[in-house]
Amino acid sequence: PLDIMDALPEHTLSLLSLFEGRFPSPGIEWNDVIKPQVETFLTSIRQTERKVRLYLNTHSSIAMLAGKCLGHKSGVEIELVQKGRMGDSIWSENESQDEPDAVIETETVGTGSDVAVVLSIARNALPKARAYILENQPDIGRII
């Protein structure tokens, strides 16, 4: 996207030289090379910027590290750009959402004292989770 091309060099971190495809290049270690570079970059951004839009064309481990470095307490307003088949989506916690409230239901499935939690985001995970629990988890008495 054009937004990426507009980013100043000091606001851009490319790790392409550290990877061969999906894996770190020979001799490149996560803790010794990749993680410190990402942390240094994000710390400098956190110190100079109050609003950041992140294009994370990257491994999920780097995205998780970005979340750690630029978390809620950082004082930085973060927008994430997610690539998709229908174009990019921008996610921001400060955006007003017209989403329906979460549906929380409790179902008794047995007499056990354990509780299973099933979280469905895009698809209903309950039928398969329930079947697995009934067949393999006799200690579970309730599903939330």
**Ranges 45-59, 68-82, 124-138, most confident:** 124-138
pLDDT, tens only, 28-70 = 999 999 999 999 998 888 888 788 888 777 777 888 888 888 8
Q: Is the pLDDT of residue 1 over 60?
A: no
Question: Could you tell me which of 65, 64, 91 has the C-alpha nearest to residue 78?
Answer: 91
Domain boundaries, the chain: 3-92, 107-143
Rounded to 10 deg, the angle between the 35-48 and 60-69 helix axes is 40
Q: Which residues pair with 54 in a beta bridge?
A: 80
Q: How confident is the model at residue 98 (pLDDT cuts 50, 70, 90)?
A: confident
Q: How confident is the model at residue 128 (pLDDT cuts 50, 70, 90)?
A: very high
H or E element, residue 42? helix 35-48
Question: Which amino acid would we find at residue 98?
Answer: D
Would you state the pLDDT for residue 6?
59
pTM: 0.57
Q: Give the three-state DSSP class for 27.
A: coil
Torsion over CA: 7, 13, 19, 24 (sign):
negative
Would you state the pLDDT for residue 109?
96
For residue 137, give Cα distances in angstroms to 23, 69, 108, 117, 132: 37, 38, 13, 13, 7
